[in-house]
């Protein structure tokens, strides 16, 4: 009889010692479900923002296509946003100076960009939901006009103003940015520039032996590409405290992604 009581007491103790595990497991399941739900909400928010921005870029692309009519200008809708390619004898040989006959073209492009949908969202109520959403989340629409310069692979002479085609392409893209900024009232904060020298050619001229064919290929490679793009970013913070808080929130979001 004593053995039976001892067995029952031991069994009861074992049950009591593991009883906590059930509510703990339930709590962990609920927390995991909450994390997944937050991630789903975050992903849906990103999809909404991306969809709205793509609609804006599509509308802007159509406006540019309709208004810019120039054989030296090619407009494409690309992954980066909208690409406007300037070709022809845009610059003086081995220089960053823009040939005078192309300055009106750059001025026109800048003024058309200024009037396009990307810089005039408040003129229509179509994107009010996006602007309201960004405002509630303390975000802003980051719009960028980025100029990328490209040269051919012809080496520069020793007495050149530039050490390499890389520096020459950077100076040329900056020159285009300056002309665009001067031709419109678009704030300089929207502009940026890059130079890639001869390292991102459209046509590989290394295997071309015919002189005239190589000359035509190099003319294609000499170009400036202007990209219009937009993205959502946190608003500029007004204090160090707000900046630290923003980074802390970003770290929490990264932890949620790791849990998933």
Mean pLDDT value of segment 171-200: 97
Mean pLDDT value of segment 6-12: 51
Which residues on adjacent β-strands are paired with residue 183? Answer: none
**DSSP 3-state helix, strand, coil percentages of the chain (rounded to 5)?**
60, 15, 25
DSSP 80: T
- Top-confidence range, 25-29, 87-91, 118-122, 181-185: 181-185
With bands split at pLDDT 50, 70 and 90, how would you rate the model's confidence at 14?
Answer: low
Tally of helices (H runs) and strands (E runs) in the chain: 7, 5
pLDDT single digits (tens) 95-147: 999 999 999 999 999 999 999 999 999 888 889 999 998 998 889 999 999 99
**Higher-confidence residue: 252 or 158?**
158
CA–CA separation, 169 and 178 (whole Å) = 14
DSSP strand pairing (191-195 vs 223-234): unpaired
Give the distance between the most distant pair of CA atoms in the chain: 111
Is the pTM value of this prediction over 0.95? no
The pLDDT score that the predictor gives to residue 258 is 45
On whether the CB atoms of residues 89 and 162 are closer than 8 A, the answer is no
> Exposed e or buried b for every residue in 207-231, given b needs 16+ CB within 10 A?
eeeeeeebeebbeebbbbbbbbbbe
Domain boundaries, the chain: 54-259
Mean pLDDT value of segment 154-162: 93
Domain 54-259 classified CATH 3.30.1330.60? yes
């Amino acid at each position: 009889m004593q053995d039976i009581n001892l067995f029952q007491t031991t069994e009861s103790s074992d049950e009591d010692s593991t009883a906590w595990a059930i509510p703990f497991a339930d709590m962990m399941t609920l927390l995991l479900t909450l994390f997944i739900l937050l991630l789903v909400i975050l992903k849906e928010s990103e999809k909404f923002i991306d969809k709205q921005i793509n609609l804006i870029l599509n509308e802007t692309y159509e406006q540019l296509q309709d208004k810019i009519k120039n054989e030296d200008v090619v407009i494409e809708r690309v992954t980066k946003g909208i690409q406007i390619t300037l070709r022809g004898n845009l610059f003086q040989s081995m220089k960053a100076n823009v040939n005078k006959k192309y300055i009106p073209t750059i001025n026109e492009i800048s003024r058309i960009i200024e009037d396009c949908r990307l810089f005039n969202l408040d003129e229509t109520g179509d994107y009010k939901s996006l602007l309201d959403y960004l405002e509630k989340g303390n975000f802003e629409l980051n719009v960028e006009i980025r100029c990328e310069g490209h040269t051919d692979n012809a080496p520069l002479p020793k007495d050149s103003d530039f050490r390499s085609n890389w520096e020459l392409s950077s100076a040329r893209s900056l020159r285009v940015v300056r002309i665009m900024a001067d031709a419109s009232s678009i704030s300089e904060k929207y502009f940026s520039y890059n130079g890639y020298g001869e390292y991102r050619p459209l046509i590989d001229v290394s295997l071309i032996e015919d002189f005239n064919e190589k000359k035509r290929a190099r003319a294609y490679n000499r170009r400036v590409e202007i990209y219009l793009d937009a993205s959502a970013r946190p608003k500029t913070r007004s204090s160090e405290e707000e900046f630290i808080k923003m980074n802390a929130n970003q770290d929490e979001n990264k932890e949620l992604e790791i849990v998933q």
